[in-house]
Chains A and B, each alone.
Chain A
Amino acid sequence: MKTIRVKKGYNLKIVGSPSHLLKKAEKPTYVALQPEHIPFVKPRLKVAKGDRVALGSPLIEDKRNTDIQFLSPGGGRVADIRFGPRRVIQEIVIQLDETEKKIDFERYSQNDIDKMNREQLVRVLVAGGLWPLIKELPFRDYARLDFLPPALFVRLGSLEPFHPAPKVYLPGNEQLFRFGLSVLNKLAEGRVFVCRHEADTESTSLLDGLINLTYTGNYPAHDPGVLLYRMKSSPQENCSWFVDGQDVVLIAHMLRNGAYPTERIVTLGGAGARQPKHFIARMGAPLSAIAADQAENESWRYIQGGILSGYGARPQSYLGFSETALNLLPEGNRKGELLGLFSPGYRKTTFSRAFLSKLNHQELEMSCNMNGSERACIACGYCTLVCPVDILPQFTYKAILAGEVEESLEHGLLDCVECALCSYVCPSKIELFETIKNAKAAFYKEKEQVRR
């Protein structure tokens, strides 16, 4: 078995790690799909307010490729469609019926899958609405239908605080995982890498013999982009695909049971969660259903996704299409303590060595405060020390701002795995990650236009 050692990167020492307890969240009255937060998709509505929908009936399609549809996470009535600025579709809210109607898809056994050819399988997955769970590097859009990937990575677990642990979502689902993996093997014609962290021994024992790539190192060593960067030997490998471990189970569930999945395992973490733990949550459930027992007397930021790469959401909003984590952090919009600048900082987390917290191995509390104000780049070089794919963010972002697209590509712009560590460590508080991410997305959109 191959082992990849990732030397760069950085692990946050932050409180609020979810326990491995699993609790079933209550059934919500409303669920929603949020097209706004599905990257690159240009949604076209297939329903109107007041329509009745069943579990698995299409809500939107992607204007770029109308075969790709996003299905309803529940059966009931479309209660509301919320639009944001410039008519962007924010939420399609569905009021659930007491007994939900659902669309019946065809069921497949292992035998059926083995007999199918690749094109048929793609069509089945697309029709089942779960194709967008398969992502393509380097842009992380959903995978192209007519493309044979050079490799496919299955990511078990995440090093980012905080995501569901494989040892919570795998037990009981080993058979489904095995089945899902056979589907992926067909899609990638056998070039599938199932990756786990070296310390994650539970996955190895649960998935006997299926894991064929091990990595060590700090966040974001788990990211398929990082693993690909360390493995690739030719530019052809850049467009590899990846799937999250839990999504393999969902895909298998859909194919085997012929029903659009309704549940996934989600973590509630961060300092704001009174009892950080795992939840079995309804897909598209309201955040309040998961964060019912959050701590009070502080304004909390609801972060969908990991603490670094996730986005802040309104507490009234819903779980995103492929999100598996909700983290609550203190907003931190208050002034610092008197002359905090000069404190030894035994409890202040940092990548640098400029605080005593370097000697403190406890998990520490962090807020969303910027911890400083924006300055010009002073070339401290922390971003280059932390970037897992050896981009030189301090030079790359200058190339981007100067409009030098060619140069930024040469710097490895597209290798960026969107871990956001460069912005995290920057003492000048420059939005390096935002600049790089936007440049990458702009490049992709231009490339797509040319292709069409």
Chain B
Amino acid sequence: MKRIERFFEFTRRHFEKGGKLEKLWPFYESIESVFFAPARVSQVAPNVRDSLDVKRYMMLVIVALLPHYAFGVYNVGYQSHLASGLGTDFWPVIWTGLKSVVPIVVVVYIFGFAWETLFASVRKHELSEGVLVTCALLPLTLPPTIPLWQAAAGISFGIVIGKEIFGGTGRNFLNPALTGRAFLYFAYPVQNSGDAVWTVLTGAKSAPVDAFTGATPLSIAAVTERFGDVHASLADAGYGVSKLFFGLYPGSIGGTATFLSIVGAAFLMILGIANYRIIFGCVIGLLSTAFLLNLLATESSMPYLSMNPMHHLMSGGAMFAFAYMATDPVSAAHMQVSRWIFGFGIGTLTILIRVFNPAFPEGVGLAVLFMNLFAPLLDHIEIKIKLRRRVPNV
């Protein structure tokens, strides 16, 4: 404890005004204030302030994401060993997983912090903690095979175009992590979509072993032949309910774990960090739209229409995006009723994109971005209605 304190006292002067590294002050400050809260006191009323600050707020999101990383590392290694025909002992699997996941995370954090520090030092304010969450979210949505330079390009786009050019955290209207993900999806489709990118091949293999297809549940559902049964073809490919629920199949690094997403969502809702209106709105929107499509489905229509709503909820990254992406308070709707509508819209659009747009097997990311655009409008309408009820005071 004393040693850490002394370390900060020793290094501090280099970053303070007049020091050699003066320009890096925001970066230094952000690190120091994680270890020791600053000694600032209130200057104006109220004299006392709540214990919650943005740092704690964002840290709790990261805490909720840690299990996803643990799962992601295991799943990447596990799928890799399956595809490469290796044994699935625990430690070798973890080792393989770490080898693919850690470099991506490190690169994303380095580039994310670099951009954030640059903008913070030019604007002369402190580093915002939003970047920690953005950098934690983006890798979980990426395929484990992504080239590292693309991960760097993705986080750069997400932070700079998704956030900083609008004025930084708090002024962005799109979710920065998803902006980066969408950029990669459209700019480098070969490395970021399709069936082949979700599994890392190890042991000098260039093609997976015969038994392994690598197809994700959503792509299977999308290509099920007419007059076929979606659930049967999913079951044929080994996608039972429990597999979908726990997420142990090829996919983005941590996004497939529906079970963990529900746990994380509950954790964040109980602590009041994620708004329950958004999450429940999303789930209700998704289930009801999928159910509606079930009603529309006939013998001769697309089999995808008849996919069970619960299957929709459990496959792919739907629950992950609902829990962590849609609930980003800045880019989501800010008013209570708007939050319900915002969430409902995400759920609905997710299903519509999945089912009717064969180009995008997973639609939830785009649905969130799309509703981000509508959030200010929803807020505006709700505020106008609310203000009309006030007794004027001028």
User: Which residues of A are interface residues toward B (Cβ below 8 A)?
Assistant: 12, 14, 138, 232-235, 237-238, 301, 303, 307-312, 329, 331-342, 345, 348-355, 357, 366-382, 390, 392, 394-395, 409-415, 420-421, 423-429, 431, 433-434
Q: Which of B50-58, B106-114, B216-224, B286-294 contacts A (4 or more CB under 8 A)?
A: B50-58
Evaluate contact between B39 and A375: CB separation under 8 angstroms. no
Evaluate contact between A354 and B273: CB separation under 8 angstroms. yes
From residue A361, how far is it (CB to closest CB) to chain B in Å? 16
> Which B-chain residue is minimally distant from A421 (CB atoms)?
B46
List the B side residues contacting A425 at CB < 8 Å.
50, 52
Evaluate contact between B56 and A427: CB separation under 8 angstroms. yes
Subset of 6 A-B contacts with CB under 8 Å: A238-B393, A341-B55, A369-B37, A375-B126, A420-B46, A427-B52
Q: How far is the CA of A429 from the CA of B126 in the complex (A)?
A: 13
Q: Which 8 A-B pairs have the closest CB atoms?
A: A372-B53, A376-B170, A336-B37, A348-B51, A353-B272, A420-B46, A308-B46, A335-B36
Evaluate contact between A352 and B53: CB separation under 8 angstroms. no
* Overall SS of chain A's interface: loop
Q: Is B247 located at the chain interface by the 8 A CB criterion?
A: no
Evaluate contact between B50 and A412: CB separation under 8 angstroms. no
> Which A-chain residue is minimally distant from B328 (CB atoms)?
A378
Known contacts A335-B37, A369-B41; decide if A415 and B46 are in contact (CB<8 Å): no
From residue A300, how far is it (CB to closest CB) to chain B in Å? 11
Of B46, B55, B336, B392, chain A has the most CB atoms within 10 Å of the CB of: B46
Q: Restricting to B1-32, which residues have a CB under 8 Å from any CB of A?
A: 1, 4-5
Evaluate contact between B4 and A373: CB separation under 8 angstroms. no
Evaluate contact between A351 and B50: CB separation under 8 angstroms. yes
List the A side residues contacting B41 at CB < 8 Å.
331-333, 367-370
> Which A-chain residue is minimally distant from B332 (CB atoms)?
A379
Q: B170 contacts which of A329, A341, A372, A378 (Cβ < 8 Å)?
A: A378
List the A side residues contacting B332 at CB < 8 Å.
379
Evaluate contact between A235 and B46: CB separation under 8 angstroms. no
Q: How far is the CA of A350 from the CA of B52 in the complex (A)?
A: 6
Known contacts A232-B391, A234-B391, A381-B329; decide if A376 and B46 are in contact (CB<8 Å): no
List the A side residues contacting B187 at CB < 8 Å.
none
Q: How far is the CA of A186 from the CA of B37 in the complex (A)?
A: 56
From residue A236, how far is it (CB to closest CB) to chain B in Å? 10
Known contacts A341-B55, A376-B128, A378-B170; decide if A433 and B45 are in contact (CB<8 Å): yes
Q: B394 contacts which of A329, A351, A409, A424 (Cβ < 8 Å)?
A: A409
Q: A424 contacts which of B50, B275, B387 (Cβ < 8 Å)?
A: B50
Evaluate contact between A303 and B47: CB separation under 8 angstroms. yes
From residue A395, how far is it (CB to closest CB) to chain B in Å? 6
From residue A366, how far is it (CB to closest CB) to chain B in Å? 5
List the B side residues contacting A428 at CB < 8 Å.
53-54, 170
Q: How far is the CA of A386 from the CA of B184 in the complex (A)?
A: 41
List the B side residues contacting A336 at CB < 8 Å.
36-38
Categorize the interface residue count of chain B.
Answer: 35 or more
Q: Is B44 located at the chain interface by the 8 A CB criterion?
A: yes
Beyond A341-B59, A349-B50, A370-B38, list 5 extra A-B contacts (CB 8 Å).
A235-B394, A342-B59, A354-B272, A420-B46, A428-B54
> Which B-chain residue is minimally distant from A426 (CB atoms)?
B50
Known contacts A336-B36, A338-B1; decide if A390 and B390 are in contact (CB<8 Å): yes
Q: Is B254 located at the chain interface by the 8 A CB criterion?
A: no
List the A side residues contacting B168 at CB < 8 Å.
376
List the B side residues contacting A234 at CB < 8 Å.
391
> Which A-chain residue is minimally distant from B168 (CB atoms)?
A376
List the B side residues contacting A341 at CB < 8 Å.
34, 37, 55-56, 59
Of B1, B37, B271, chain A has the most CB atoms within 10 Å of the CB of: B37
Evaluate contact between A301 and B47: CB separation under 8 angstroms. yes
List the A side residues contacting B270 at CB < 8 Å.
353
From residue A329, how far is it (CB to closest CB) to chain B in Å? 6
From residue B376, how far is it (CB to closest CB) to chain A in Å? 11
List the B side residues contacting A307 at CB < 8 Å.
46-48
From residue B290, how far is it (CB to closest CB) to chain A in Å? 30
Q: Is B372 located at the chain interface by the 8 A CB criterion?
A: no
> Which A-chain residue is minimally distant from B172 (CB atoms)?
A376
Evaluate contact between B57 and A427: CB separation under 8 angstroms. yes
Evaluate contact between B44 and A414: CB separation under 8 angstroms. no
Known contacts A341-B55, A377-B170, A423-B46; decide if A352 and B272 are in contact (CB<8 Å): yes
From residue A173, how far is it (CB to closest CB) to chain B in Å? 30
Evaluate contact between A412 and B394: CB separation under 8 angstroms. no
List the A side residues contacting B126 at CB < 8 Å.
373-375
Q: Is B182 located at the chain interface by the 8 A CB criterion?
A: no
List the A side residues contacting B167 at CB < 8 Å.
376
Q: How far is the CA of A219 from the CA of B273 in the complex (A)?
A: 24
Evaluate contact between B48 and A334: CB separation under 8 angstroms. no
Q: How far is the CA of A181 from the CA of B170 in the complex (A)?
A: 51
Evaluate contact between A372 and B169: CB separation under 8 angstroms. no
Evaluate contact between B51 and A355: CB separation under 8 angstroms. yes
Q: How far is the CA of A86 from the CA of B275 in the complex (A)?
A: 48
Q: B48 contacts which of A12, A382, A411 (Cβ < 8 Å)?
A: A12
From residue A423, how far is it (CB to closest CB) to chain B in Å? 6
Known contacts A307-B47, A349-B51, A371-B50; decide if A334 and B39 are in contact (CB<8 Å): yes
From residue A245, how far is it (CB to closest CB) to chain B in Å? 23
From residue A368, how far is it (CB to closest CB) to chain B in Å? 5
Q: Restricting to B314-337, which residues have a CB under 8 Å from any CB of A?
A: 329-330, 332, 334, 336
Q: B57 contacts which of A232, A378, A394, A410 (Cβ < 8 Å)?
A: A378
List the B side residues contacting A412 at CB < 8 Å.
387, 390, 393
Q: Restricting to B369-394, which residues have a CB under 8 Å from any CB of A?
A: 383, 386-387, 390-394
From residue B231, how far is it (CB to closest CB) to chain A in Å? 40
Evaluate contact between B38 and A434: CB separation under 8 angstroms. no
Q: A366 contacts which of B38, B48, B272, B390 (Cβ < 8 Å)?
A: B48
Q: How far is the CA of A255 from the CA of B29 in the complex (A)?
A: 61
Evaluate contact between A369 and B170: CB separation under 8 angstroms. no
Evaluate contact between B48 and A368: CB separation under 8 angstroms. yes
